[in-house]
């Protein structure tokens, strides 16, 4: 009896093991869930367990769930990484010590032998004096937190969101600690949350300082045209940082929340979704350990062509029409637009396929900043964008593919802009220039359809000054080339979106709390 039992046990263990990726493998398997949350936490836990099982059946090594789609407004869990988790790291086998949420996810990770990343509201109760970590005030803090479980169900990392987006009941991380963890398949991941992707810390620092090639992203993204729709920015970040990017998005289309995917550096999306109807969906793909080194077939982008049922709310940058711009006309045109220290040279050929041109297109340049919830962010951009009329105010709008009769036969943008610098303290770049595009189906172009290169930098010898006359720093210039490789008929936006982190400013401390 005993022999048979052990025989079965060994057999089943070997079987499970053979499905796990190893450090020697050239790839691993990742899963993300685009997820409609319930207000009832019990429902969410049940659904999470279901998708953990499904992902394990498809041999996923790791599964990632979206931001704030596990807990609800009245619940939060404690993640005592400096407390009991040090001695008892597996909530599943010490259920009396931990919140039921942690215990349930730990048990599911353990029984399915899969890494699990979840996000939820985390409680740190500083009135209890047992947190083992700094508590500036004797009160309860709620953080927006990623929790990572390994295959045994142990909590191996906790990351608190640094850059909050209109989350007035949450406190940003008390110190800007990066999230990262190692796996038994030889991949080190960093991870961060939603609005964090817009900032040097952690989005650029976590990759460059930690030297990781794989990034996990939990989000509840509010898409905004022309630069910041969900899959567009995820794919552009993966491309320019040259990382694998595992992004899971919460889905609530009436609020504008949608978009998930798994991307591999310069190869683009291995799988992605930007649904226009309410959607919960598991996406699974093999991921090459060397970003961009794809081989064989991948699921690819899940096309979501415009239909009458597409009700995803997409916001538009309300300041777009304040920038220097020029309308495009049918035929060939070549011109340069300048805003302060940034110049964009455009070379474009448009063709009406029949009759009057629709949509209208416009070229735009920006050297300045945008403001999102009190955070002023430095931006340098060159853009071609679709508009429904000749009025600039109608720009950055989706249009119906069947109504389009304009083919962009040729489109070349050359941007002359600030050359990147490096922050030795943070150990990362001070700028990030992203090649962005979005089509009427809300997905970006495949990288095979464009070329994005940084041309040789131009070094000034002190004749040019930065806008800040006080420092009078020499500015070095650089040039980027961004062009279409093939004619396109369904572009909504195509351009270079540069983030100049040195120009960022947080107005939160200067304005009234009610803002």
Ligand X SMILES: *[C@@H]1O[C@H](CO)[C@@H](O)[C@H](O)[C@H]1NC(C)=O
What is the torsion angle, in degrees rounded to the nearest 10, for the CA atoms of residue 315, residue 319, residue 324 and residue 325? 30
Taking a C-beta distance cutoff of 8 angstroms, is the pair 444, 436 a contact? yes
CA atoms within 13 A on the CB side of 65: 28
Task: Tell me which H or E stretch contains 54.
Answer: helix 41-57
Q: Which is nearer to ligand X, 113 or 449 (CB)?
A: 449
Name the pairing type of β-strands 214-219 and 188-193. parallel
Q: Return the DSSP state at 508.
A: G
The distance of closest approach from Cβ of residue 387 to ligand X in the complex, given in angstroms and rounded to an integer, is 13
Nearest distance from C-beta of residue 7 to ligand X, angstroms: 41
C-beta of 393 vs 486, nearer to ligand X:
486
Contact between 199 and 231 under an 8 Å Cβ cutoff? The reply is no
Cβ proximity of 220 and 418 under 8 Å: no
Instruction: Identify which of residues 7 and 300 has a Cβ nearer to ligand X in the complex.
Output: 300
Q: Cβ distance 476 to 419 under 8 Å?
A: yes
What residues have CB less than 8 Å from 321, skipping those under 6 apart? Answer: 392, 393, 395
Closest distance of CB 488 from ligand X, Å: 6
Q: Which is nearer to ligand X, 41 or 225 (CB)?
A: 41
- For residue 421, the minimal CB distance to ligand X (Å) is 8
**Distance set, CA 255 to CA 92, 144, 191, 221, 304 (Å):** 35, 19, 25, 9, 18
Residue 383 φ/ψ, nearest 5 degrees = -150, 145
Query: Rounded to the nearest whole angstrom, what is the least distance from the CB of residue 379 to ligand X in the complex?
Result: 16
Q: Which residues pair with 417 in a beta bridge?
A: 478
Beta carbon nearer to ligand X, 184 or 407: 407
Q: Which is nearer to ligand X, 318 or 330 (CB)?
A: 330
State which residue, 154 or 436, has the beta carbon closest to ligand X. Answer: 436
**Least distance in angstroms from the C-beta of 414 to ligand X:** 22
**CB-CB contact of 229 with 443 (8 Å):** no
Instruction: List C-alpha distances in Å: 175 to 85, 189, 348.
Output: 20, 20, 47
Radius of gyration of the chain (CA): 24
Q: Running DSSP on this structure, what letter comes out for residue 201?
A: I
Ramachandran quadrant class, 444 (left: phi over 0; alpha: psi -120 to 50; beta: rest): beta
- In the complex, the smallest distance separating the C-beta of residue 187 from ligand X, rounded to whole angstroms, is 10
Between 82 and 505, whose beta carbon lies closer to ligand X? Answer: 505
Residue 91 CA to residue 97 CA, distance in Å, equals 7
Least Å from the CB of residue 489 to ligand X: 8
For ligand X, give the closer residue by CB, 15 or 297. Answer: 297
Closer to ligand X at the Cβ: 71 or 366?
71
Alpha-carbon separation of residue 427 from 161, 203, 430 (angstroms): 20, 12, 10
CB of 85 to ligand X, least distance (A): 19
Task: Return the half-sphere exposure (C-beta side, CA atoms, 13 A cut-off) of residue 104.
Answer: 18
Footprint on this chain of ligand X (rule: CB under 6 A): 36-37, 39-42, 72-75, 129, 211, 213, 252, 254-255, 330, 352, 355-357, 423, 425-426, 445-446, 449, 461, 463, 486-487, 505, 510
Q: How far is the CB of 443 from ligand X (least distance, A)?
A: 7
């Amino acid at each position: 009896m005993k022999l048979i039992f052990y025989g079965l046990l060994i057999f089943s263990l070997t079987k499970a093991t053979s499905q796990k990726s190893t450090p020697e493998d050239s790839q691993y398997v990742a899963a993300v869930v685009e997820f409609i949350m319930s207000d009832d936490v019990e429902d969410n836990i049940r659904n999470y367990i279901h998708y953990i099982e499904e992902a394990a059946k498809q041999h996923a090594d790791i599964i990632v769930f979206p931001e704030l789609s596990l807990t609800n407004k009245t619940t939060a869990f404690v993640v005592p990484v400096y407390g009991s988790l040090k001695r008892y790291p597996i909530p599943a086998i010490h259920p009396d010590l931990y919140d039921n949420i942690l215990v349930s996810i730990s048990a599911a990770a353990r029984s399915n032998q899969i890494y699990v990343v979840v996000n939820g509201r985390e409680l740190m109760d500083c009135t209890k004096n047992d947190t083992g970590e700094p508590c500036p005030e004797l009160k309860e803090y709620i953080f927006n937190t990623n929790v990572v479980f390994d295959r045994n169900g142990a909590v191996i990392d906790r990351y608190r969101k640094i850059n909050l987006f209109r989350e007035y009941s949450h406190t940003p991380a008390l110190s800007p600690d990066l999230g990262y963890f190692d796996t038994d398949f030889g991949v080190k991941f960093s991870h961060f949350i939603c609005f964090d992707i817009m900032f040097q810390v952690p989005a650029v620092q976590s990759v460059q300082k930690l030297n990781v090639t794989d990034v996990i992203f939990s989000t509840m993204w509010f898409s905004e045209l022309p630069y910041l729709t969900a899959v567009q920015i995820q794919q552009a970040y993966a491309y320019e940082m040259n990382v694998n990017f595992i992004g899971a998005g919460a889905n609530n289309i009436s609020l504008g929340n949608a978009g998930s995917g798994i991307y591999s550096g310069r190869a683009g999306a291995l799988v992605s979704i930007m649904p226009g109807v309410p959607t919960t969906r598991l996406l699974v793909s093999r991921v090459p350990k060397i970003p961009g080194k794809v081989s064989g077939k991948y699921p690819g982008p899940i096309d979501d062509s415009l239909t009458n049922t597409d009700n995803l709310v997409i916001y538009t940058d309300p300041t777009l029409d304040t920038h220097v711009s020029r309308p495009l006309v049918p035929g060939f045109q070549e011109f340069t637009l300048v805003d302060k220290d940034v110049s964009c040279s455009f070379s474009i050929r448009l063709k009406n396929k029949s009759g009057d041109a629709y949509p209208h297109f416009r070229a735009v340049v920006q050297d300045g900043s945008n403001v999102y919830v009190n955070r002023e962010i430095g931006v340098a951009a060159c853009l071609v964008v679709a508009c429904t009329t000749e009025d600039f105010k109608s720009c950055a709008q989706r249009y119906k593919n069947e109504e389009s009769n304009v083919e962009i036969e040729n489109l070349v943008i050359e941007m002359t802009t600030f050359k990147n610098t490096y922050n030795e303290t943070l150990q990362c770049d001070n700028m990030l220039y992203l090649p962005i595009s979005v089509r009427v189906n809300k997905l970006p172009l495949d990288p095979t359809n464009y070329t994005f290169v940084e041309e040789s930098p131009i070094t000034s010898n002190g004749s040019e000054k930065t806008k800040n006359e006080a420092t009078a720093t020499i500015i070095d210039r650089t040039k980027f080339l961004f062009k279409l490789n093939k004619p396109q008929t369904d572009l909504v936006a195509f351009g270079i979106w540069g983030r100049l982190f040195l120009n960022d400013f947080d107005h939160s401390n200067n304005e009234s709390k009610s803002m």
